[in-house]
Chains A and B, each alone.
Chain A
Amino acid sequence: MKGLDQIFISTQHALAGLAPAPLQPLVSMVLIIACLMSVFGACFALTTILERKTLGRMQNRFGPNRVGPFGLLQPMADGIKMIIKEDIVPFSADHALHFLAPLVLTVPIWLAFSVLPFGRNMTAVELDAGILFFFAIGSASELAVFMAGWSSQNKYSLVGAMRAVAQMISYEVPLVLSSVPVLMAAGSLSLSDIVQAQSGCALGWLPHWNVFTPWGLAGFALFLIAAAAESNRCPFDLPEGESELIAGYLTEYSGFKYALFFLGEYLGLFAVTGLAVTLFLGGWQAPAAWLEWVPSWGWFAVKFSAIIFLAIWIRATLPRLRMDQLLNFAWKFLVPLALINLLVAVAWLKTGTWRFPAAAEVRWLLGASVLAIAYVCLGRHWNGPAPRPRQYSYAE
């Protein structure tokens, strides 16, 4: 099974070995880039169709089922449609910025994939500060979104972009704060080290993943909520709330530029999902020793798809938040909870030296109860006092 686990690495080495020696680093770089772009491009196409079908089923509809068997060729039809559409640039738009915005959105997101460990030894660039690089490059999408909204010279685009920037900046804080405990536990900023730190078993049967600790569970939930907001997913998709803003910052985009925004949005979701898998679900680690015959990249794919399915499920369930609710939720609920989570994580790490019987269970219960109390107390007041029942003077 060693061969299957390392099949991509060995193939890459074999193919790069065919090139003359001075060109070998370049060839292997190009191979990695092509592999990442094709795999996640295909992933994007597959996710769009599966998302539409799952959403349909969750709303008791069929979803797309016309193009190809079970409608599986729908992404091709969508792609062809997007490419042959006219690319309209508004007369008064800032043409340069309008052209650059989709590129500025997609390129950093592709870069973010370079530090994620997709399997054993399968990291494109081994950075010591990988997670720092990820968050730094991920915040470039705010710039792209505002470029798109500003350059369109359209009030809907501008309002959508301002909403998007406010949302992304607000949710970046809980996103980073909820991943800090993981860094403290692993003692490293490198994503490969974080995965390594989650190997092995606690109590003999529970995988040593961060999600199975109280701070990890809370952090995972916080991270997923903040990640949904970061990638403009439902229920935080109000930058493009079509009922009030047409399509937000996408209003003036058409044709392939629109497709690029769409691609960027999904790739952002994939990248942040990959990071969630790496930080909280043990990355490419198998959940138990006897399951290690499944290749490591297979485990990554399984966990990755599970979180993507969760995102689709949530999209099918929740309505959109209001703007003030959105910001209140970030600043009055997620950020305090993430800070308390940080304290719980510190206590957890400091009490790792406890050696009395059932110490692990006591630590677990203590941490979980502190977080539960904080959750209940914060959850009661994050959106201000409940509105009084409306008084109707004339309608009685």
Chain B
Amino acid sequence: MLGFGIIKGLAETWRNFIGSYYDPARLTTVQYPEQKLPPNENARTIPFLVFDGEDPMAGLRCTACSICAQECPAHCIEIVKDTTKKPDYLGKMQFYPKVFNIDMGVCMACGICAEVCPFDSIKMDRVFELSSHDRGMVLQKSDLAKPNDYFREIHPTEAAAVDAARAEEQRKAEAKKAANPVLAKS
């Protein structure tokens, strides 16, 4: 009959009205600046540079190969190669970036740079409170560098895989060096 559905609906809203004061489980709202949800492991926002060891500038994994800069659809990565070489984790001599800038105002967080990086140097971060009062959103090398421990903390699964692969490569390089010292010297 006309009106029964309305009465049922009114009863439902009334239960919500009273219940939301007594049963906090009904209120699913997360009051953001005060409350935050636990971060999701798969969250990927903006790129950052991983470094090993203590010193960010010495331990940077990046070899200034510029693959990320070329692949970047938004052309927001600017890399200037240093003139000198330094040995990497395998003992090979590699170039290092003198300048590594990412314009976060242009970056669209697609993650292509992290996918194409052959040195596991550029990875996606999890920070999301990025709004700023000025346009100073060009992050320098020093702003982007974050320790490997941070990477392990935010993406444990991926970091463990990367660490295992790098340890394996390192072990192979050691074994090769031990087997053929002449080749290793050159």
Residues on B with beta carbons closer than 8 Å to the beta carbon of A58? 13-14, 16-17, 20
Is there a chain A Cβ closer than 8 Å to B21's Cβ? yes
Q: Can you list 21 residue pairs at the A/B interface with Cβ under 8 Å? A: A54-B17, A57-B17, A57-B20, A58-B14, A58-B16, A58-B17, A59-B16, A60-B16, A60-B27, A62-B29, A65-B31, A314-B10, A317-B13, A318-B6, A333-B2, A375-B2, A376-B1, A376-B2, A379-B1, A379-B3, A382-B2
| 1/0 contact string of A49-85 vs chain B (CB within 8 Å) | 0000010011111100100000000000000000000
A318 near B2 with CB under 8 A, answer no
Tally chain A residues at the interface, Cβ within 8 Å: 19
Q: Give Cα A375–Cα B3 distance, bound, in whole angstroms.
A: 10
Is there a chain B Cβ closer than 8 Å to A313's Cβ? yes
B2 near A379 with CB under 8 A, answer yes
A380 near B2 with CB under 8 A, answer yes
Closest to B11 in A: A317
Main secondary structure of the interface of A (DSSP, over half): helix
Is there a chain A Cβ closer than 8 Å to B91's Cβ? no
Is there a chain A Cβ closer than 8 Å to B9's Cβ? yes
Is there a chain A Cβ closer than 8 Å to B26's Cβ? yes
Closest to B28 in A: A60
**Shortest beta-carbon distance, A318 to chain B, in Å?**
7
**Shortest beta-carbon distance, A365 to chain B, in Å?**
20
Residues on A with beta carbons closer than 8 Å to the beta carbon of B3? 379
Residues on B with beta carbons closer than 8 Å to the beta carbon of A376? 1-2
**Shortest beta-carbon distance, B128 to chain A, in Å?**
20
A57 near B1 with CB under 8 A, answer no
Closest to A315 in B: B13
Would you list the 8 A-B pairs with minimal beta carbon distance, nearest first? A379-B2, A58-B13, A317-B9, A60-B26, A317-B13, A57-B20, A58-B17, A316-B13
B10 near A317 with CB under 8 A, answer yes
Is there a chain A Cβ closer than 8 Å to B153's Cβ? no
Closest to B10 in A: A317
Q: Give Cα A61–Cα B14 distance, bound, in whole angstroms.
A: 14
Residues on A with beta carbons closer than 8 Å to the beta carbon of B20? 57-58, 60-61
Q: Give Cα A314–Cα B3 distance, bound, in whole angstroms.
A: 12
**Shortest beta-carbon distance, B6 to chain A, in Å?**
7
Among B9, B27, B31, the residue within 8 A (CB) of A318 is B9
Is there a chain A Cβ closer than 8 Å to B12's Cβ? yes
Residues on A with beta carbons closer than 8 Å to the beta carbon of B13? 58, 313, 316-317
For chain A residues 304-346, which have a beta carbon within 8 Å of chain B?
313-314, 316-318, 333
**Shortest beta-carbon distance, B5 to chain A, in Å?**
9
Q: Which among B10, B21, B28 has the highest number of chain A CB atoms within 10 Å?
A: B10
Query: Total contacts A to B, CB within 8 angstroms?
Result: 48
Residues on B with beta carbons closer than 8 Å to the beta carbon of A379? 1-3
Residues on B with beta carbons closer than 8 Å to the beta carbon of A314? 10
Among A57, A65, A313, A375, the residue within 8 A (CB) of B10 is A313
A57 near B29 with CB under 8 A, answer no
Main secondary structure of the interface of B (DSSP, over half): helix
Tally chain B residues at the interface, Cβ within 8 Å: 19
| 1/0 contact string of B152-164 vs chain A (CB within 8 Å) | 0000000000000
Residues on A with beta carbons closer than 8 Å to the beta carbon of B26? 60
Q: Give Cα A333–Cα B1 distance, bound, in whole angstroms.
A: 14
Q: Give Cα A316–Cα B13 distance, bound, in whole angstroms.
A: 7
Q: Give Cα A313–Cα B7 distance, bound, in whole angstroms.
A: 11
Q: Give Cα A58–Cα B3 distance, bound, in whole angstroms.
A: 20
**Shortest beta-carbon distance, B36 to chain A, in Å?**
16
Residues on A with beta carbons closer than 8 Å to the beta carbon of B29? 61-62
B28 near A317 with CB under 8 A, answer no
Q: Give Cα A317–Cα B12 distance, bound, in whole angstroms.
A: 8
Given A317-B9, A379-B2, A379-B3, A62 contacting B16 (CB threshold 8 A): no
Residues on A with beta carbons closer than 8 Å to the beta carbon of B1? 376, 379-380
A62 near B27 with CB under 8 A, answer yes
Closest to A54 in B: B17
**Shortest beta-carbon distance, A226 to chain B, in Å?**
16
For chain A residues 338-396, which have a beta carbon within 8 Å of chain B?
375-376, 379-380, 382
Q: Give Cα A62–Cα B35 distance, bound, in whole angstroms.
A: 14
Q: Give Cα A62–Cα B26 distance, bound, in whole angstroms.
A: 10
**Shortest beta-carbon distance, A236 to chain B, in Å?**
14
Residues on A with beta carbons closer than 8 Å to the beta carbon of B9? 317-318
Q: Give Cα A149–Cα B20 distance, bound, in whole angstroms.
A: 40
Q: Give Cα A333–Cα B20 distance, bound, in whole angstroms.
A: 36
Closest to A66 in B: B31
Q: Give Cα A62–Cα B13 distance, bound, in whole angstroms.
A: 14
Q: Give Cα A313–Cα B14 distance, bound, in whole angstroms.
A: 8
Q: Give Cα A57–Cα B20 distance, bound, in whole angstroms.
A: 6
Residues on B with beta carbons closer than 8 Å to the beta carbon of A333? 2
| 1/0 contact string of B59-99 vs chain A (CB within 8 Å) | 00000000000000000000000000000000000000000
Known: A313-B13, A313-B17, A379-B2. 19 other contacts (CB 8 A): A57-B16, A57-B20, A57-B21, A58-B14, A58-B20, A60-B19, A60-B20, A60-B27, A60-B28, A62-B27, A65-B31, A313-B14, A316-B17, A317-B12, A317-B13, A375-B2, A379-B3, A380-B1, A382-B2
Residues on B with beta carbons closer than 8 Å to the beta carbon of A380? 1-2
